[in-house]
Amino acid sequence: MPDKAALISTSIMEHALCAECIAAKSSMSVAATETTLAVIQRTLDVHRAEARRCHSCDRTTVVFRLGRSTL
């Protein structure tokens, strides 16, 4: 897994975050973050919620969180 993908995976492992906060934590653009999230989704279970509170910025928006595999 590329370093940026690992960094994003770690940041959404414990808390749900919006794309902007994930981008800020990873030093990436929002567009690059969304692309990397799509890559992560190939191997890990990334949950996307439409109207949840972001743990970092407190905005109610689209947030992402890593789920646990049931396997």
Give me the residues that bind Zn ion (CB under 5 A), please: 18, 21, 54, 56-57
Burial label for 29, CB within 10 Å (0-12, 13-18, 19+), is exposed
CA distances from 22 to 1, 55, 69, 70 (A): 17, 11, 21, 25
Q: How far is the CB of 15 from Zn ion (least distance, A)?
A: 10
Instruction: CB nearer to Zn ion: give 10 or 42.
Output: 10
Q: How far is the CB of 1 from Zn ion (least distance, A)?
A: 23
Instruction: CB nearer to Zn ion: give 3 or 58.
Output: 58
Instruction: CB nearer to Zn ion: give 4 or 25.
Output: 25
Max CA-CA distance within the chain?
A: 33
